[in-house]
Amino acid sequence: MFWLHMACVKMRWLYMSLVVLGALCLYLSMHNLSLFKEDAFVFKKEHGQFLQLPDIDCRQDPPFLVLLVTSSHEQLFAREAIRKTWGKEKVVSGRRIKTFFLLGTTPRKDASRAVAQESRQHRDVIQKDFVDVYLNLTLKTMMGIEWVHLFCPQAAFVMKTDSDMFVNVRYLTELLLKKNRTSRFVTGFLKMHELPIREKYNKWFVSRHEYPWDKYPPFCSGTAYVFSGDVASRVYNVSDSVPFIKLEDVFVGLCLAKLNIGLEELHSEQTFFPGGLSFSTCRFKKIVACHFIQPQKMLTYWQALESSLGEECPAE
C-alpha cells in the first residue's frame, strides 16, 4: 500500500514538474519573440564615428562607379595588390571610377597606427569605430552604405566587394552603360531561394534565435554586388527597421525586400563567380567578379590581361 502511495506521489511530482517546465519554455519563447519585437537586434544607424574618410568630393566630380572593398588590418598585401591592379582604374570609357577600402578598428596599437598611416598615404580608407571581426561584417557593409548616403549620393553606381576578389572594372562599366539604369537597380550573383543553415559548426550557421524564419529573402552573394547610387540612401533609410542579421548580404536583402526592390541579372551570361573560376585572359575579359584570388595571382592575372588588351578572343 505504502509503495503504491509513494509511486503516486512521484507521478504527481513528475506531472507538476512537466507543467512547470512547459510553462517556463513557453515563457522563454514568448520572451524571445518579444525581445525580437522590442528591436533587441536592430541595427543602430548612427553607430560609431568615421575615423578615416577618403579623399573625394562627389559634388564637384561625381563618380560613375564607387567600389567599396571590405578589408581588415591584416590584409595589407591584398589592398596593395588591388591598388596596383583593378583598383587603379580611374577612368573607363570617360567615366570616373573610385576604389575605397572599408575597415573597422583593432585593439592592436601597431596595426591601428599602420592603417592610419596607410590611409594618410593613399586616402582611400573608410573606417569607423567598431571592432573589426567577421561577425561585424554587416556593420562594415552598412558603414560603406552610410558613407555613400552621406558623402557620395551622386555616384551613379556602387559595388560592394571583398579583398580576395578580382573585379573586371572595364567590363562592369561597359555592362552598366549598356544596361542604362539609373535607379532601384541591384545586380550580382543572385540567390533567390536560400535557406538559413542550422548546422552548428557551419561558417554560415544562424540560430533560430537570430533568424526565426525558414527562408531568406532574395539577395546577392556578398562577394560582389552592384547597385545604383540611390539604393544606398534607400537601404540606409530602412536599415533600422528590418531585423539585424550578421550575414551582411542577407541583411541587405532584407532591406531590399522591405523597399520592394527586385534583383536583376546584369547580363544573359554569368559574370559573377562567387565560387571562383580558373584563369584565362579570354575568360576574364568577359567576367565582372571572381572570388578566391590571392594577391600574387591578382598581379599575374592583371598583367596577362593588360598585355592582351588588343588581342581578339575566339567568339563563343
Ligand X SMILES: *[C@@H]1O[C@H](CO)[C@@H](O)[C@H](O)[C@H]1NC(C)=O
**Interface residue list for ligand X (CB under 6 A):** 130-131, 133, 135-136, 180, 233-234, 237
Which residue number, 116 or 299, has a Cβ lying nearer to ligand X?
116
Note whether 85 and 52 are within 8 A (CB): no
Strands, E, within the chain: which ranges? Answer: 50-52, 65-70, 91-92, 95-105, 125-131, 157-162, 166-167, 186-191, 219-228, 272-273, 289-290
Residue with Cβ nearer ligand X (237 or 281): 237
Angle at 211 between CA 265 and CA 18, to 5 degrees: 155
Nearer to ligand X, 92 or 165 (CB): 92
- What is the DSSP secondary-structure string of 212-259? -SSSPPPEEEEEEEEEETHHHHHHHHHGGGSB--S-HHHHHHHHHHHH
- DSSP state, 314? -
Query: Nearer Cβ to ligand X, position 32 or 136?
Result: 136
- Smallest gap from residue 260 Cβ to ligand X (A): 12
Q: How far is the CB of 185 from ligand X (least distance, A)?
A: 12
CB of 80 to ligand X, least distance (A): 26
Return the H-helix or E-strand segment holding 306: helix 295-307
Pick the closer one to ligand X by CB: 32 or 233.
Answer: 233
Contact 271, 288 (CB under 8 A): yes
CA distance 215 to 194: 6
Output the CA torsion sign for 199, 204, 209, 215: negative
CB of 239 to ligand X, least distance (A): 11
Cβ closest to ligand X, residue 149 vs residue 160: 149
User: Nearest distance from residue 196's CB to ligand X, in Å?
Assistant: 19
Distance in Å, CB of 307 to ligand X, minimum: 31
Cβ 19 to ligand X, closest distance in Å? 38
Nearer to ligand X, 34 or 182 (CB): 182
**Residues 247, 222 contacting (CB under 8 angstroms):** yes
Query: Parallel, antiparallel, or unpaired: how do β-strands 65-70 and 289-290 relate?
Result: unpaired
